[in-house]
Structure 1
């Protein structure tokens, strides 16, 4: 299975996020899953690629030209898929992946989560997004989604497109 991982490229974040990301990368490699990710050599992106690759996963980096030009491309990319911009990157990631796991991240990660989920809501695919709720990181977003649902702003049930997992064991069950 190809698992796309959306996550932070920042270094100055909770160290426990790195530990949990390493566990996910190790699990992916040990279970024969490959990793699709943004191809950046920083933060949780570098962490997932290094660990997954070190335990047998192939890593597929979807790398925008701006990342390449700035010298931030990871050395842990086995297959590089170059792209022009972030819109292209999201589409290529969707095309390459079977399921999506969102680790802690910021604006870019939110953009990726909602692009995939919105595409699913109108029928472009039936792929899940899993919010890996490390240390309750996604609790605020989950509350917001529940509030939007209660106010009738989400057609159907958002849980059909976005799942939540508090542990690696829950991720294993969802996949």
Structure 2
């Protein structure tokens, strides 16, 4: 299985997120999966790429030209897919993957999560996003989604498109159930 991983490219974040990301990378390789990621050499993006690559797994980096020009490409990228911009990156990452896992991240990660979920709601694909809720990182987003659901702003159930996992065991169970 090819797993797209959306996540932060920032370094100055909770150090536990790096440890948990390394553990996820090891699990991915142990289970014979590969990753599709942003290919950047910063933050959790570098961490997931490096952990998968060093454990012998395949890493596919979908890398916008601006990242290449800025010298921010991870040395852990096995396959480099160049793209023009962030919109292309999202489209290519989705096309190259079977499922998406969102680690803690910022505005870009939220954009990626909701692009995948929104395109699922109208039938472009049936891929889901798993929010890896490390240390409750996504609790406020989950509360917002529940509030939007209760106000009738979401067709169906948001959990049809976005699932929540608090640990790797829960990620594994979600993947097995789809």
TM-score range, shorter chain: over 0.9
The answer to whether residue 104 in structure 2 is matched with residue 104 in structure 1 is yes
Contact 1:32 1:56 in 2 (8 A): no
For 2:43, the equivalent position in structure 1 comes to 43
Separation in 2, partners of 1:32, 1:55: 11
Q: CA RMSD in A?
A: 0.4
Separation in 2, partners of 1:151, 1:3: 32
Contact 1:2 1:35 in 2 (8 A): yes
The answer to whether residue 96 in structure 2 is matched with residue 92 in structure 1 is no
The answer to whether residue 2 in structure 2 is matched with residue 2 in structure 1 is yes
Structure 1, unmatched stretches of 5+, are none
Q: For residues 127-152 of structure 1, what are the alpha-carbon distances to aligned partners after superposition, in whole Å with 9 as ceiling and x for unaligned?
A: 11000000000000000000000000
For 2:127, the equivalent position in structure 1 comes to 127
* Matched position secondary structure for 1:155: coil
Deviation at 1:54, TM superposition (A): 1.4
Separation in 1, partners of 2:169, 2:48: 17
In the superposition, the TM-score normalised over structure 2's length comes to 0.98
Segments ≥4 residues shifted beyond 2 Å: none
In the superposition, the TM-score normalised over structure 1's length comes to 0.99
* Matched position secondary structure for 2:45: helix
Structure 2, unmatched stretches of 5+, are none
The answer to whether residue 18 in structure 2 is matched with residue 18 in structure 1 is yes
For 1:116, the equivalent position in structure 2 comes to 116
Separation in 2, partners of 1:56, 1:153: 44
For 2:76, the equivalent position in structure 1 comes to 76
How many residues matched? 175
Q: For residues 108-163 of structure 1, what are the alpha-carbon distances to aligned partners after superposition, in whole Å with 9 as ceiling and x for unaligned?
A: 00000000000000000001100000000000000000000000000110000000
Deviation at 1:57, TM superposition (A): 1.2
Deviation at 1:56, TM superposition (A): 2.1
For 1:153, the equivalent position in structure 2 comes to 153
